Amino acid sequence: MRFFDLLDFQDVMLFVFPTLLFILLFAVGLAHTHFKMRDSEEREQRIIHVFPGDIAERDGPVPLLLILIIVGFAFWAVFYALGRALVGGPF
């Protein structure tokens, strides 16, 4: 525990709210939203590999939500590290 209790509260809030936002976006984005390309339909139907148990692997497009989550995580990590470095204190 740190000398100032407010810093612990701020760290918890910086963890909780982005996590809740991520869960909400992930739940909404499960609607398979993705960029439509010319070969999207053909890629979704073409079977690349068949595993034991008749499980088929297809090459579908990357969902837009997954791209946004990865980019958002990268921005959050950079800005969080910069913010903590400017404020000072141990990580």
pLDDT digits 0-9 by tens, 63-87: 777 788 889 899 999 998 888 888 8
The DSSP secondary-structure symbol of 52 reads: T
Give the pTM: 0.49
Helix, strand or coil, per DSSP, at residue 58: strand
The mean pLDDT of the chain is 79
Is the CB of residue 88 less than 8 Å from the CB of residue 54?
A: no
